[in-house]
Chains A and B, each alone.
Chain A
């Protein structure tokens, strides 16, 4: 097997069918793409018809928090940076978008892009000193950062249509709502809009993961010395991950601003970051579907509980148990574990159905 002299082309011949590039395309890609398209068509066209306005609003929030989870997933799952400051980053995105929407007449997609870029710069600058820290210390620093941003927000208030950077007018009796895109003013239409933005963000991250930065991140996460030894500028690539995560979260903030019409500092409490990290870990930080699961846990679950008249305090307990349970039994998250469990269940059911059949060849022994 290891004989060098006689196996010079075995690897070549096996790979000869493939075209170019570093990624060798996997066969189930087409099936996966098909599933995603069908799911998207259902979410965009079917879901708003089936759901009441209450749940449509909840699903818009799911789209927003799926993007937040996506950003945190890049940090936790790709480069191993535990951030507890994502709510602060989301608030920066929401603030920038709100200010731009009040102050200018720019089209909504442009505002989202700008909010994303502003958040990318601020988020990266804020996390720059934290890049030298890892693990618990990084988590603590980012949590304090989130706390600091919350204090600033509570003092300055979110812009509500007044003049200047803070744009706050306390005397105003009629406060104008944050505008939505002209093509998506109704709640179902805005839900579709949010889903489309989320899909673009997921695609952006997916492209990153499949190409050069994704490969570099995989090396950094496993071993920084190994990454350095193969020539990866680990600091630059970590910064890249932070910038990408901040951009995605900033765009999510912009979508959030339009969804709720009014921003309050209480919506960006520092402890929400802990919940976000919990749902990301439960959903699965190493898998893009994990971000969708995280968004559902974060926003749909509370909406359901509220509708059923169950106190939201149960959710905190549920998440606490959930994180411990998931981390001990399925460290790669629900998005990774669920298909495996389903496959197991399928086999089990199949075995139950087929059980009477093999009784004959077993006793026969020699029968073909």
Chain B
């Protein structure tokens, strides 16, 4: 369980997150909102790339913000990026193993764990092939494999389906749905594809201009008037 309390992030005069308070329970949770709503900023706070002005994040009883960014992978934070960041120079195997060796996982189980993660995401290619030779869909899967290897506790997926054709989005959704069952990790999914979000997430939170405007069961949230208004672009009535 992740409890976010009064989280505010400011970049100069711009308030990216405005007093955000929300609780994510176990399973897969959606986080949606128009462009610039603060979704990626929230992920960057959880990854430690952005220091919030105020607020707290308690993750499974630990104060996440007090952990140095590069140590958070060891704690169990995993993430994918909006523009995929599979390391081109390394093979598929080394890409996934990178997390395993830096997140303090036992060396003895490395091969089995890494190959297990690669097959879990359904990458049907030689693990020795360099990432530079892969297409976008496969690179995304490499990133997802990196996110599920070696005891993750919090998996952050930042628009994993961006730029993917429908058929591949559907198979990716299948993988995402199985992440909590396989790893036991709390998964937060950011995406603009509403069918992906409603297909994967039991609960969903909505951000608009840095403010949390709705949170709850996905179907209910998507019918919420304020959410419709935020997406359709009508002026905020408050």
Contact = CB atoms under 8 A, between A and B. Distances in A.
**Does A pair with B?**
yes
A225 B81 contact: yes
Count class of interface residues, chain A: 20 to 34
A10 B77 CA distance: 28
Interface string B60-101: 000000000111111001110100010111110110011101
Nearest to B110: A22
Given A215-B94, A219-B87, A231 B102 contact: yes
A24 interface: yes
Contact of B98 (A14, A15, A215, A223): A215
Nearest to B49: A225
Contacts of B214: none
Contacts, number: 122
B119 A7 contact: yes
Nearest to B73: A231
Contacts of B88: 222
B75 to A, nearest CB: 9
B102 A222 contact: no
B62 to A, nearest CB: 16
A1 B126 CA distance: 13
Given A222-B85, A230-B73, A22 B124 contact: no
A236 to B, nearest CB: 9
A4 B120 contact: yes
A362 B165 CA distance: 40
Interface in A183-240: 212, 215-216, 218-219, 221-223, 225-226, 228-234
Contacts of B118: 11
Q: Report which residue of A11, A14, A22 has the largest number of chain B beta carbons within 10 angstroms of its beta carbon.
A: A11
Interface in B104-118: 104, 110-111, 115-116, 118
Interface residues of B, number: 51
B90 A218 contact: yes
B178 interface: yes
Contact of B70 (A23, A24, A221, A232): A232
B85 to A, nearest CB: 4
A24 B119 contact: no
Contacts of A212: 101
B127 A24 contact: yes
Contact of B127 (A14, A20, A221): A14
Contacts of A12: 115-116, 119
A232 B94 CA distance: 14
Contacts of A2: 121-122, 124, 141, 168, 171-172, 174-175
Contact of A3 (B47, B116, B171): B171
14 contacts: A2-B121, A2-B171, A4-B174, A9-B119, A11-B125, A12-B119, A15-B126, A24-B128, A215-B98, A216-B102, A218-B87, A230-B102, A231-B72, A232-B102
Interface of B: 47-49, 69-74, 77-79, 81, 85, 87-91, 93-94, 97-99, 101-104, 110-111, 115-116, 118-128, 141, 146, 168, 171-172, 174-175, 178
